[in-house]
Structure 1
């Protein structure tokens, strides 16, 4: 890397940082106007206000970077080249026989690194903060409760629903499971005080001081229903299943269960019971693809389209940056604001194409979900590559 490469790279990254911090500052200031009292109330537990604000806004800033990283990179590209042209540094470099492609190479590589960083945040960081990103400021130190989306387990033949879902504890309060299959002795309803999600072999239940340790965990994943109300005398009913797969386990023949408990073996994770679509958008590709492949639950066309959209998002974002690259060459000598206007128009057309493809895939019109999600990439990337090759030696 030459000195001019380092100079251009620092100028570009500084512009990216300033743009992102400006957006983050605007978001925090406007949001704090409505949530400041709630944030101050959290300091009564002994935490300082800056620490409370960091805990609350930190995950939101990560999500903001994921949402705006590609657009900020694109605009920083335009502003950096505009600055180099305004100061005459670009003209001087070109007069030395160096092509636009060589000058812009550090920014192109940096753009790829930023988009890869977005991908890492989206798949590995944001899913861990999903609960924090769906809560309000007053819920910062407490449990987040929301309504339960009724979900039918097609394999077990049981509709999973309840009063509320506590997301951190992965617990359904007052579960009311409707049994649509024939399990001897269980009847049509399974009612209990709560239902706690447990992984195979998990022995601890609860969070913090409410943690309870059991000597043995369940053999499969599912919900542990405690203090079962219906059916009565659950400890006298034998466990039931479908084929060789266990579905409803009871203390009658399961020594690890206590009296009054019942275990529902299911692949319907509490993350699938969120009523807010935000929780689904914040899930990783592995989780979303797992839902699509899960035979126990129905996968909508919109969800299948969303999985493919998440897969192609990173190369599509990079294709967008490369699509705008020829504008910064500015062989016709157009002014900076004219270039920015042209870039905005191209970005709008890009997102219009993505929205149209998503709508077609979600509705099953003309294209299957996979083809619809990949259509923008098939249209944009060849054009972007051709435009990139055209300006490399200019």
Structure 2
């Protein structure tokens, strides 16, 4: 590695951290002051407030890097080249016989490395903290949340609830299961005042992987013989030994029918938000295409999968499209060149957002929505790159 290369790498690193800290720092300050009342709802004292705010924004650095990594990489490349021009280093290297493509090679390599870091962040770090990233400012991870989705499992059963207790993996107040007519010959509704999810690895429960529904009723009712069939998805529970205790006052749930519904639909699937796929790994997205319990349109997941594949290429396309505006503008002011590059970025990302919106409304196919920005701006980047003066 030559001295000039090390200088370019160091300049890119300084520019990237400066831009990142400026953008993210400004957003954190504004967001923290706007939501300080929300943080105080779950903290006691100034010390705990600062600690919880620090944890909240520290976890979200992975999300900020994912959202801003591409545009900040482009800005760092532009600033690196701009500073090189401002110090007349470019003219000196051109006079020494060093081509423009050679002198900006470290900038290109640095941008590629940032793209690889973005992929690792999306596939490893964000899925690990997906649940925390979807929390609101006032959410400490144990409070009760509303159930906003009505997912179904692979057999067509539709589940619904009102309020969820995450600590005990229990749906409170009301839990409903709609059984399609193909299973019992007619549509049946199972209602309960409380339902607890029993995972497959529960240590004491005699029945596992399903929902234990307390204070339940079936309409129209099923006979004891139908409930006792070996292949029945609904089973009557007469002995609650080994099952988790109820949440709240047991007297309000005693003396009524207790049922167990066998299903792979978990508690997390019941409280999952509609934007869950934005925080999942590629494996999670592919699994979501074949899992009906996700409660998400396959079109949205397909767009996310294609966009995930295309993101590093689109980030490099943006850089190859923007750098020539700075490198080729010898006759213009460098700040004007920088302004053109930033306007170019706004057009690039705006076009991508429009394509994804059209794909979500089924106007464009998911594959076309992800590839179209590369087709359009890739041709423009190739044309501009060929016009760089060497």
- TM bracket, shorter-chain basis: 0.7 to 0.9
| 1:229 matched residue in structure 2 | 216
Query: How far apart, in 1, do the equivalents of 2:368 and 2:378 lie?
Result: 15
* 5+ long unaligned stretches in structure 1: 204-212
Query: Contact 1:234 / 1:250 at 8 angstroms: preserved in 2?
Result: no
Q: Within 5 Å, give how 1:51-90 maps onto structure 2.
A: 51-90=51-90
Point out the more displaced range, 175-184 or 5-14: 175-184
CA 94–271 in structure 1, closer or farther in 2 if over 3 Å, else same: farther
Are positions 1:279 and 2:295 aligned together?
no
RMSD over aligned Cα, in angstroms?
Answer: 3.5
| 1:207 matched residue in structure 2 | none
Shift of residue 214, structure 1, vs aligned partner = 1.9
Shift of residue 161, structure 1, vs aligned partner = 0.6
Aligned counterpart in structure 1 of residue 285 of structure 2, from 281, 284, 288:
288
CA 169–379 in structure 1, closer or farther in 2 if over 3 Å, else same: farther
Shift of residue 333, structure 1, vs aligned partner = 2.7
| 1:202 matched residue in structure 2 | 201
| 2:362 matched residue in structure 1 | 364
Q: Deviations over 1:260-305 (max 9, x none)?
A: 3513323x45555457444342233322222222367673433332
Are positions 1:238 and 2:238 aligned together?
no
CA 341–166 in structure 1, closer or farther in 2 if over 3 Å, else same: farther
CA 198–310 in structure 1, closer or farther in 2 if over 3 Å, else same: farther
Are positions 1:158 and 2:157 aligned together?
yes
Q: Within 5 Å, give how 1:96-115 maps onto structure 2.
A: 96-115=96-115
Give the 3-state SS of the residue equivalent to 1:161 in structure 2.
strand
Query: How far apart, in 2, do the equivalents of 1:52 and 1:234 lie?
Result: 53
* Number of aligned residue pairs: 373
Q: Deviations over 1:190-234 (max 9, x none)?
A: 2335444455x412xxxxxxxxx326673xxx5322425124899
| 1:147 matched residue in structure 2 | 147
Query: How far apart, in 2, do the equivalents of 1:239 and 1:337 lie?
Result: 77
Query: How far apart, in 1, do the equivalents of 2:304 and 2:356 lie?
Result: 8
Query: How far apart, in 2, do the equivalents of 1:68 and 1:312 lie?
Result: 16
TM-score normalised to structure 2 length: 0.81
Aligned counterpart in structure 1 of residue 372 of structure 2, from 372, 375, 380:
375
Query: How far apart, in 1, do the equivalents of 2:276 and 2:129 lie?
Result: 10
Shift of residue 334, structure 1, vs aligned partner = 1.8
Q: Deviations over 1:107-155 (max 9, x none)?
A: 11111111222222222222332332232333226335123311233x4
CA 386–8 in structure 1, closer or farther in 2 if over 3 Å, else same: same
Give the 3-state SS of the residue equivalent to 2:104 in structure 1.
helix
Query: Contact 1:190 / 1:228 at 8 angstroms: preserved in 2?
Result: no
| 1:208 matched residue in structure 2 | none
CA 114–131 in structure 1, closer or farther in 2 if over 3 Å, else same: same
Point out the more displaced range, 66-75 or 116-125: 116-125
